[in-house]
Amino acid sequence: MNQDVSRRKIIHCDCDCFFAAVEMRDNPALRDIPLAIGGSIEQRGVIATCNYPARRFGIHSAMSTAQALKRCPHLTLMRGDMAKYKAVAHQVFAIYRDVTELVEPLSLDEAFLDVSDTTLYQGSATRIAQLIRHRVESEVGITVSAGVAPNKFLAKVASDWHKPDGLCVIPPEEVDAFVQALSVKRINGVGPRTAGKLAELGIATCADLRCRSLAQLVEHFGRFGHRLHELGWGRDDRPVRTSRERKSVSTEHTYSQDLPDLAACRARLPELLADLDARHGRLDPPCEVRGLILKVKFNDFTQTTVEHVAPVSSLAQFEMLLEVGWQRGSKPVRLLGVGYRLADVSAEAQLSLF
């Protein structure tokens, strides 16, 4: 590890239940009741975010609105106001950039900050994080949880440690003990399926990961095995980037009524591809296509993605991908998505709104 990496001070800031927090700020009567921002049942909507009273009922982001209302029939559901949320995010990010120019947006509500060379508070990343949290709460009216650590992986884990409205600091001398005790479920990219596979191998913590060789992890998890090996030792050399490479462009649609069969799905492809081509055409700078992506979500919420390396797009190619994807479930479909993998071109960060 080079000297620059070893002395990094990274802060990960994450606005607490962001969309819901803005609505509660503007209407205090919403603060203590279950509140969610998302789409309607009629439009087969999903929950974008919810406040903590709603989370006590087991509601979470990406859950269907129908399921959320089953768990909490008295849930207050709001469609949301993206223009307002973007304006609030602009205020929050202005505070981040008052502290450092090295800000990497991940979405409207979270970012990495590199404060390694910041002289504020004699370079104390902890005090800088405290300042940021205080300013956001007093000037914007919402709360931010922050994690402070020597790298991005640990800073992101730390920001979630004491949510909501929390601060967790992992100083360099405590990294090794912290990582060894860390559950592998805390590693970004370890979802339920990977966690289940790790459990089958007797791997529950990063200390358990360290007992496996790189070759063993790659054998079981492919390319992700390299990442597991590095993070198991708390190593993450990724710098904070103020601009990010756009790797894909996509569009998807959730249908108000399930598409019953492959033919019905195929009939929806032309309109999806027209929207995809329009989105691709608006990219600045332009990006060449290097691959095709098709996503299918079935009516039981299982989903699959099919990809194909190709420099050009055609309806026939997407129809081929659709057939492969649909046959993996052979069930009615609630959502279809199409996308392009893009050639390596540096572009400004594109913020994922939902």
Q: How far apart are the C-alpha atoms of 51 and 25, rounded to whole Å?
A: 12
Mean pLDDT, the chain, rounded, equals 90
Show Cβ contacts of residue 328 under 8 Å, excluding neighbours closer than 6 positions. 296, 304
Closest CA to 38 of 71, 62, 10: 62
Q: Of 212-216, 242-246, 307-311, which gets the smallest average pLDDT?
A: 242-246
pLDDT at residue 354 tops 60: no
Please tell me whether 14 is known to bind a ligand. yes
Q: Give pLDDT tens digits for 44-90.
A: 778 889 999 999 999 998 888 889 999 999 999 998 898 999 999 99
Q: What is the pLDDT of residue 5?
A: 62
User: In 10 A of CB 110, how many CB atoms?
Assistant: 19
Residues of the chain with CATH 1.10.150.20: 176-232
Which residues are within 8 A (CB) of 6 and not within 5 positions of it... i.e. 6 or more apart? 150, 172
Q: Is the pLDDT of residue 21 over 70?
A: yes
Q: So what's the pLDDT on residue 353?
A: 32
Matching CATH number, 244-347, of 3.60.21.10, 3.30.70.980, 3.30.1490.100, 3.40.1410.10: 3.30.1490.100
Tell me the pLDDT tens digit for each residue of 313-331.
889 999 999 999 999 999 9
Q: Does residue 172 have a pLDDT over 80?
A: yes
- Tell me which residue of 138, 183, 140 sits closest to 18, measured CA to CA: 140
Residue 3 confidence (pLDDT):
38
The catalytic residues are: 110
Tell me the two tokens of residue 287: 């990006």
- Tell me: pLDDT of 16 over 80: yes
4 — pLDDT class (breaks 50, 70, 90): low
The pLDDT tens digits of the residues spanning 271-298 come to: 999 889 888 887 767 788 889 999 999 9
pLDDT at 332: 96
Helices (H) and strands (E) in the chain, counts: 14, 14
Looking at the chain, the whole-number percentage of residues with pLDDT higher than 70 is: 94
**Looking at domain 176-232, what is its CATH homologous superfamily?**
5' to 3' exonuclease, C-terminal subdomain (1.10.150.20)
Distance between CA atoms of residues 317 and 309, nearest Å: 11
Question: What predicted TM-score, i.e. pTM, was given to this entire model?
Answer: 0.74
For residue 245, the model assigns a pLDDT of: 67
For residue 244, the model assigns a pLDDT of 65
| pLDDT higher than threshold 50 for residue 2 | no
- For residues 166 and 160, is the Cβ–Cβ distance under 8 A? no
CB 34 within 8 A of CB 96: no
Tens-place pLDDT, residues 237-249: 999 988 766 788 8
On whether 4 is known to bind a ligand per the annotation, the reply is no
- Range with the lowest mean pLDDT among 137-146, 149-158, 233-242? 233-242
Kindly report, as residue ranges, where domains of CATH 3.30.1490.100 are found in the chain.
244-347
